[in-house]
Amino acid sequence: MLTKEASYQGCVVAHHIIQLMAKKYQVFISSTFDDLKEHRDAVVKAVLQLGHLPVGMEMFNAGDQTQWETIKSYIDSSDYYLVILAHRYGSKDPASGLSYTEKEYDYAGEQGVPRLGFVIRKEAAWPAHLVETKAKRKLDAFKKKVSSNRVINFWETPKELAFEVFASLGNEIAINPRVGWVRATEAASPQVAEELARLSKENKKLIEQLHSLRVTENLEALENKLREINYELKIGASSKTYQLYEILMAVLKPDKNRGIEIVREITTHDIEMFRAATSELEMLDLIFYEKEGNHNEMKMTQKAKRIYVKNNYSL
């Protein structure tokens, strides 16, 4: 069983790995420019506060087709991609009709760069002169595309946007670490690589122990729940109450000395299979339902009772 000490050890392993190799991640920030200068500044600051490297259109003219290859190279070398959308679609690529911001978004997805979207809330106050009406349909479609992504956040002010970026990017880095950058002096030596490999194996072992513990707890919880459900079985003039667990074990697994095999966690699919098995028991003439007051009681048929007795279960 996984103990508190083992859990603490797992935390130490993770901390040790971080200390061994402190990475900096390159984060590409994409948006329209003139209407979101203040917001981009807030996002750049949030990325820097996380200790990472922001890059974006401040380094080039995103609306210039001659710069597209440069833009792609920056996305290629980036570990994460952020897109900020308000009420402007932005300058378009003449060939595709898409805005350069949307082209960047699509290209990042094609290259497998994790994309995080930050879309302004509909009810947020916004200056009328910064609202683009001609390309509203394209902008709405783009927002819908971004909103269907795995990571999407909404904002109203630069401060709220910075907070969402700080939290979401930090979480994405934690659950989906990328290649990143390290100082040449901190690059992994053979000794560090060996230590990382050892710690990785140890971490994997701890995860397996945690999974095993979770499986055991789930199965015990299911068994306890089945033992809480009682059914009254009538035999002639007499009747006796049995746990649902006892009935299922008698009919489905008659070998009394054989325990339940723990193979994996109980899933929704397992529950559906359990329901299907109950229906099959009815079809095999092993159980039936009889009206008892305001509810139906599950009863064993004579055929099931014979199986029950044959396998040395006393009724």
On whether both 175 and 44 belong to a single domain, the answer is yes
| Domain span holding position 246 | 228-310
Residue 213 burial by CB count (10 A; 0-12/13-18/19+): exposed, middle or buried? middle
On whether both 109 and 34 belong to a single domain, the answer is yes
pLDDT at 124: 93
pLDDT at 249: 61
Mean of pLDDT values over 239-261? 55
pLDDT at 7: 41
What is the domain count for the chain?
A: 2
* CB-based contact 155:121 (threshold 8 Å): yes
Confidence band, pLDDT 50/70/90 cuts, at residue 67: confident
pLDDT at 59: 65
Q: Specify if 160 maps to a domain.
A: yes
Strongest mean pLDDT among 50-64, 84-98, 298-312: 84-98
Residue 296 burial by CB count (10 A; 0-12/13-18/19+): exposed, middle or buried? exposed
On whether both 102 and 232 belong to a single domain, the answer is no
Residue 256, pLDDT > 50, answer no
pTM of the model: 0.54
Q: Specify if 66 maps to a domain.
A: yes
d(CA 284, CA 80): 57
Average pLDDT of the residues of the chain: 76
Q: Specify if 14 maps to a domain.
A: no
Residue 20, pLDDT > 60, answer no
d(CA 262, CA 59): 57
Residue 11, pLDDT > 70, answer no
Name the H helices within the chain. Answer: 4-20, 37-49, 68-76, 100-110, 136-147, 158-175, 190-228, 244-252, 268-283, 302-310
Residue 261, pLDDT > 90, answer no
| Cα 171 to Cα 5, 108, 164, 233, distances in angstroms | 25, 19, 10, 54
pLDDT at 194: 73
- Please indicate whether residue 51 or residue 218 has the higher confidence score (pLDDT): 51
Q: Specify if 209 maps to a domain.
A: no
* CB-based contact 54:47 (threshold 8 Å): yes
- Beta bridge mates, 243: 230
Q: Specify if 195 maps to a domain.
A: no
pLDDT at 30: 95
pLDDT at 263: 41
* CB-based contact 76:108 (threshold 8 Å): no
d(CA 192, CA 17): 10
Confidence band, pLDDT 50/70/90 cuts, at residue 61: low
Q: What is the pLDDT of residues 138-180, one digit of tens each?
A: 999 999 999 988 889 999 999 999 999 998 998 898 888 898 8
pLDDT at 18: 43
pLDDT at 37: 93
Q: What is the pLDDT of residues 211-226, one digit of tens each?
A: 666 656 656 666 666 6
Residue 205, pLDDT > 60, answer yes
On whether both 57 and 171 belong to a single domain, the answer is yes
On whether both 106 and 249 belong to a single domain, the answer is no
Give the CATH number of the domain where residue 295 resides: 1.10.10
Confidence band, pLDDT 50/70/90 cuts, at residue 304: confident
Q: Specify if 164 maps to a domain.
A: yes
On whether both 232 and 174 belong to a single domain, the answer is no
CA 140 from chain centre, in angstroms, equals 26
Give the CATH number of the domain where residue 127 resides: 3.40.50.10140
Q: Which residues of 66-90 are buried (b: 16+ CB within 10 A; e: fewer)?
A: ebbeebeebbeebbbbbbbbbbbbb
On whether both 120 and 59 belong to a single domain, the answer is yes
Q: Specify if 234 maps to a domain.
A: yes
